Amino acid sequence: MRVEAVDFFYLSMPEVTTEADGSQDALLVRVAAGGYVGWGECEASPLVSIAAFVTPMSHGVCRPVSASVLGREIENPDDIARMSAEVAYNSMDLLQAPHTWSGVEMALWDLLGKARGEPVWRLLGYGRSEPKVPYASVLFGDNPQETLERARRSRAAGFRAGKFGWGPIGRGSAREDAEHFVAAREGLGPDGLLLVDMGQIFGEDVDRAAERLPALDAAGALWLEEPFAGHAYEAYGALARRLDRGVRLAGGEAAHNVHMARHLISIGGVGYIQIDCGRIGGIGPAKQVADEAAATGVTFVNHTFTSHLALSASLQPYAGLEDHRICEFPAAPKPLALAFTANYVERNADGEIAAPDAPGLGIEISPDGAKPYLRDVRIEVDGRVIFKTAKLT
């Protein structure tokens, strides 16, 4: 089989706001080869990602992602790895390339799994898909009462774990933040897993982040996620050295390649490495990080905040790791994120989920569900059309 076509579909809510919710738009990727079709999803600005696939070449190592994909052979996982290496080399000066390639790479795994009649996790070498404990990923409320109510709703919906992030946290005093931590703990209950995401609010200010540690420990938080800019490895390391036996650091969603994830582990001292397949270059690089995390005593966690297609992809790299049990689950995505898939990753009677035991990623696309959100895109250079939205069928 050879890659015959790669199509992108830009979906968007009628109104996109400044809310820190990545499910307000989406970029679906469709790959065709040998009579099979695979689907993926980019986690980045859709129009910029499309442009990275079709942009005219600037020079030898600033080529469009398409130059390393179209016409390439796709028969086994090694072929996907080979394309990944070509993209990394041929498009090294095209900084959006990892995000664009991530969605294409997911779709290639989905296609290959369908062609082989195997789930992606089995193609990755796992013998079974282990159950994971999903956490409801929601935003902090504008005040502690709203945070309390959101925590209660998460628990009532059957989630034993909840992650609260962004909102007002870090913008006021440590005392004000502590009130939100207490509210979240009360809403989840004493046995719930409490996870806190600071949304990079402190930049590189280790002292301001450290002011929150006593309250996080008192609330029994399992991790403190992204207190700093995603690449501020030294700041992570400095804060990690101030930790005692309670809360641990988490980060990694900003890693655009395996090396960045390694730096967060080796320099930043994170206890939980969170990888987004839609950013790091796809499922293959995420599997590399999962293997290294398991070997170094760090817990691998998926990062995803959009659709169940992205959720399934994010589960594949660590599907067979029995001791890495926590997973992010988009508990309250925008309607478009639910509309464009025909099926979902369902929780079982124990409230747990697992990567689907079906060929490819195990998630089917619903063209009818996607079409109300589809944006028509056309890119021209000197009157020549280099991209236009294909027919979504």
For residue range 173-187, list pLDDT tens digits in order. Answer: 999 999 999 999 999
Question: What's the rounded Cα separation, in Å, for the pair 255 and 257?
Answer: 6
Q: Which two tokens stand for residue 134?
A: 């999903």
For residue range 74-91, list pLDDT tens digits in order. Answer: 999 999 999 999 999 999
User: Which string of b and e fits 196-231 if b means at least 16 CB within 10 Å?
Assistant: bbbbbbbeebbeebbbbbebbbebbbbbbbbbbbbb
For residue range 273-325, list pLDDT tens digits in order. Answer: 999 999 999 999 999 999 999 999 999 999 998 999 999 999 999 999 999 99
pLDDT of residue 216: 97
Average pLDDT over residues 220-227: 97
Question: What's the rounded Cα separation, in Å, for the pair 156 and 151?
Answer: 9
**Per-position DSSP letters for 42-85, written without gaps between them:** E-S-HHHHHHHHHPPP-STTS--GGGGTTT-B-SSHHHHHHHHH
Q: What do you get for the CA distance between the two ends of the chain, in Å? A: 21
Q: Which two tokens stand for residue 289?
A: 């990080």
Task: HSE, CB side, 13 Å, CA atoms: give it for residue 208.
Answer: 15
- Residue-range domains of the chain with CATH: 3-119+366-388 (3.30.390.10), 123-339 (3.20.20.120)
